Amino acid sequence: MSVTILNHSLIKHKLSIIRKKETKIKDFYQNVNEIAGLMAYEITRDFPLREIEIETPICKSIQYELALDVVIVPILRAGLGMVDGIRSMIPTAKIGFIGLYRDEKTLEPHEYYAKFPDITKDSIVLVVDPMLATGGSASAAISLLKEKGCKDIRYVGLVAAPDGIKRLQNDHPDVSIYLAAEDEKLNDVGYIVPGLGDCGDRLFGTK
Ligand code: PRP
Ligand code: URA
């Protein structure tokens, strides 16, 4: 499936802010959310609509509303940093959660939590996580959602390494990938270069 890099000037500007090592928790969180909101605006451009009859103060009129349920599924913890921004664009979206942590040595993902609202086969599921490094976490989260019967799954991330993109395309060729940036590579401990460091730690003040 497609890989879309959202080359928007505001996204690039805000991405530079979160990449800077001196950016502190408040500005880091705010800009992650704002990028997520801008990305949601672009990604939802072609979401299906249905006609509805409404009444304006002047007359009856046929207008439009989103036809399908949208479910946002952040991968904990760092994915939580993107939820408010996307909700500000799609306030009717439901939220599910998948808790995964990456083993620091093996880089393998381990699941510790999962909770979902009702998801139908018609729901559009946005899996959100700022960092796509080896792709192990995103791939595991999407496999879990497929086991639950999700059909239309889209991955939304901020910064990706080429390895992560390849892994996701290989494991889940049916999933569209939306990113703010594709970076150069992974370093020898599995961090994205140039990246932005440990996103969960910078969002939540740990370490
Ligand atoms: C980070 C990040 C992704 C994962 C990406 O989470 O938020 O979920 O690593 O790496 P991968 O593509 O190699 O799987 P981490 O495991 O550090 O947990 P955290 O969000 O709780 O900090
Ligand atoms: N997880 C992060 O938070 N940052 C990286 O660069 C890679 C994985």
pLDDT of residue 84: 98
Is the pLDDT assigned to residue 1 strictly greater than 90?
no
- Nearest by Cα to 161 from 3, 2, 24: 3
- Nearest by Cα to 137 from 103, 96, 185, 178: 103
pLDDT bin (cut points 50, 70, 90) of residue 2 is: very high
Is the pLDDT assigned to residue 52 strictly greater than 90?
yes
132-191 per-position pLDDT tens digit: 999 999 999 999 999 999 999 999 999 999 999 999 999 999 999 999 999 999 999 999
87-112 per-position pLDDT tens digit: 999 999 999 999 999 898 999 999 99
Query: In residues, how long is the chain?
Result: 207
Cβ-contact 169, 197 below 8 angstroms: no
**Coil/strand/helix, residue 102:** strand
Q: Is 145 in the pocket of ligand 2 (CB under 6 A)?
A: no
List the residue whose alpha carbon is closest to atom 7 of ligand 2. 191
Residues with catalytic roles: 102, 106, 198, 201
Task: Tell me the pTM.
Answer: 0.96
- How many angstroms does the Cα of residue 177 sit away from the middle of ligand 2? 18
List the residue whose alpha carbon is closest to atom 22 of ligand 1. 200
Report helix, strand and coil shares of the chain as percent, to nearest 5: 35, 30, 35
Q: How many Cα atoms within 13 Å fall on the side-chain side of residue 160?
A: 28
Q: Is 201 in the pocket of ligand 2 (CB under 6 A)?
A: no
Ligand 2 binding pocket mutation candidate from 196, 203, 204 (most atoms within 8 A of CB): 196
Ligand 2 binding pocket mutation candidate from 192, 193, 201 (most atoms within 8 A of CB): 192
Name the token pair of 73: 């599924």
Is the pLDDT assigned to residue 207 strictly greater than 90?
no
Cβ-contact 68, 46 below 8 angstroms: no
- How many angstroms does the Cα of residue 102 sit away from the middle of ligand 1? 6
- How many angstroms does the Cα of residue 133 sit away from the middle of ligand 2? 6
Instruction: Find the residues whose C-beta lies inside 6 A of ligand 1.
Output: 75, 77-78, 100-102, 107, 109, 129, 131-138, 164, 190, 199-200
Cβ-contact 97, 83 below 8 angstroms: no
- Nearest by Cα to 45 from 100, 8, 96: 8
Nearest ligand to the C-alpha atom of residue 113: 1
Name the token pair of 143: 């496999």
